[in-house]
Amino acid sequence: MSADSRGGLDPIETASADEVAAVAEERLRWSVRHAYENSTATRAAFDAAGAHPDDVHGLADLAKVPFTTKADLRADNWGRFAVPRAELARIHASSGTTGLATVVGYTAGDLDTWATLMARSIRAAGGRPGMTVHIAYGYGLFTGGLGAHYGAEKLGCTAVPVSSGMTERQIKLIADLRPEVIMITPSYLLAIGDEMERMGLDPAENSLQVGILGAEPWTEGMRVEIEARFGMHAVDIYGLSEVMGPGVAQECVDSKDGLHIWADHFWPEIIDPQTGVPLPEGERGELVLTSLTKAAFPVIRYRTGDLTRLLPGTSRPGMPRIERITGRADDMMIVRGANAYPSQVEQMVLRVEGLAPHFLCVLTRPDRLDVLTVRTEARPDVEASRYDDLAGALQALLLAELGLGAKVEVGEPGAIERSVGKARRVLDLR
């Protein structure tokens, strides 16, 4: 298909950075005041920090107001809501992978904005009205399924609400309904590919033209693997429940150079995760997002925990762009002085020919010393006699490239448990 993401765009998508900032600035003033006046927890946080909406005239004043953390949301979850419960049209909850779930809510207007931004995202990914969209993100409290669903419908696509799981049925539906677009976590897409091969099918022989993949970190190497294996474009989609759900930022199919943040609705900052000091464009740090238009659950300077850097827009010139998320600050593994993220391990796994793109980092502490064991598996066409060589190759790469002294285990195809949603990459047994 043509790798085109232009034509029929929302005017703001072709606006300049100054024009986008002007819209964001005006909305920021509204959002900060709305949150302060209607969310008791936001007001308490502002008051405690001696901050007030009157101090926020423009985007440059954001640094005057306090951050919001995941712990803050948990401490007084309902106090974050800025409309009466009766005005909520829907509730979702964060996946709670790193703790208790957070409840988030949407007014009818918020849902409409979300659908519009998801439609924008699917379009940027190469989706077009009239296409069929196979949605294999989980439906339910997770924002992936329903978020994708309403966006696909809004764009004028045919949504197929498959949800996650029942892998054989996924394959049958792809063969029967011939979707052009699939929305799914990259790890579950790989599991579907494996299952297709087990059934004697070639994953590249299908109707799919683009995969809109996200909800978990994945690497450039994984994109190469997926595009070759499925014969389609693979682009990145980012979002989080606390801020909205999927569709906060989207990679354009024509540039594949990171994700444009829809900054007319979410204003980004990058901060030093240790000091909280805002960093200039281009420097790596923690992504902080401020909602500009949400009524039910506004978030001001929400610390996402996600690590990336800000870059100028390309395919959407006025929208700030982020590099693909390398991981979360709390995913970092520290093994005897060396630091690494699972996504860096993924990069190395993908460099060893003969290893499948599945892995699990297991952390143990047998004799008061941390030990990292990277469990991997061989590709189906690899002889068992070569497993030791593959293990040695990965071990050497981890040491040379990441400074990680790790044990490596290579199992048979299928040895690593497959996920139907977000893959678990770290098992901490310490």
Q: What are the Cα distances from residue 68, in Å, to 15, 163, 268, 276?
A: 30, 31, 14, 12
Question: CB–CB of 160/132 below 8 Å?
Answer: yes
Instruction: Check residue 262 for interaction with ligand DLL (CB under 6 A).
Output: no
Piece in contact with ligand DLL (CB under 6 A), picked from 65-73, 236-244, 311-319, 377-385? 236-244
- Residue 72 near ligand DLL by CB under 6 A: no
Please report how close the Cβ of residue 55 comes to ligand DLL at its closest, in angstroms. Answer: 28
**Which of positions 116-155 make contact with ligand DLL (CB under 6 A)?**
137, 142-144
Judged by CB under 6 A, does residue 416 bind ligand DLL?
no
Q: Does 230 bind ligand DLL (CB under 6 A)?
A: no
Residue 297 contacts ligand DLL per CB under 6 A? no
Interface with ligand DLL (CB under 6 A), residue from 31, 121, 304, 347: 304
For the bound state, the minimum distance from the C-beta of residue 251 to ligand DLL, rounded and expressed in Å, comes to: 8
Binding to ligand DLL (CB under 6 A) within 155-184 occurs at none
Of how many residues is the chain composed?
A: 430
Strand pairing of 158-161 and 103-106?
A: unpaired
Binding mask 322-361 for ligand DLL (x = CB under 6 A): ---x--x---------------------------------
Task: At 26, list the tokens.
Answer: 């005006």
Shortest gap between Cβ of 83 and ligand DLL (angstroms)? 21
> d(Cα 140, Cα 165) in Å, to the nearest integer?
13
Count residues near ligand DLL (CB under 6 A): 22
Distance between CA atoms of residues 196 and 24, nearest Å: 45
CB of 271 to ligand DLL, least distance (A): 15
Check residue 105 for interaction with ligand DLL (CB under 6 A): no
335 bridge partner residues: 338
Closest Cα partner for 343 from 302, 311, 306?
Answer: 306
Q: Which distant-in-sequence residues (6+ apart) come within 8 Å of 192 by Cβ?
A: 136, 167, 170, 171, 184, 203
**Whether 80 contacts 94, CB under 8 Å:** no
Q: What are phi and psi of 398, to 5 degrees?
A: -60, -40
Cα 134 to its chain centre, rounded Å, is: 18
Q: Is 139 exposed, middle or buried (0-12, 13-18, 19+ CB in 10 A)?
A: middle
Contacting residues for 60 by C-beta, under 8 A, at least 6 apart: none
Q: Which stretch binds ligand DLL (CB under 6 A): 149-157, 240-248, 275-283, 390-398?
A: 240-248
Closer residue to ligand DLL, CB minimum distance, 94 or 315: 94
Q: Is 217 in the site for ligand DLL (CB under 6 A)?
A: yes
Q: Return the range that interacts with ligand DLL (CB under 6 A); candidates 44-52, 79-87, 211-219, 374-382.
A: 211-219
Residue whose Cβ sits closest to ligand DLL: 214
Q: How far is the CB of 302 from ligand DLL (least distance, A)?
A: 10
Which run of H or of E encompasses 44?
Answer: helix 40-49
Q: Which stretch binds ligand DLL (CB under 6 A): 155-163, 214-222, 277-285, 292-300?
A: 214-222
Q: How far apart are CA 411 and CA 301, in angstroms?
A: 44
Cα 244 from Cα 181, distance rounded (Å): 22
Q: Is 215 in the site for ligand DLL (CB under 6 A)?
A: yes
Which residue, 44 or 141, is less far from ligand DLL as judged by CB? 141
User: Which positions lie near ligand DLL, rule CB under 6 A?
Assistant: 94-95, 137, 142-144, 214-217, 236-241, 245-246, 304, 306, 325, 328
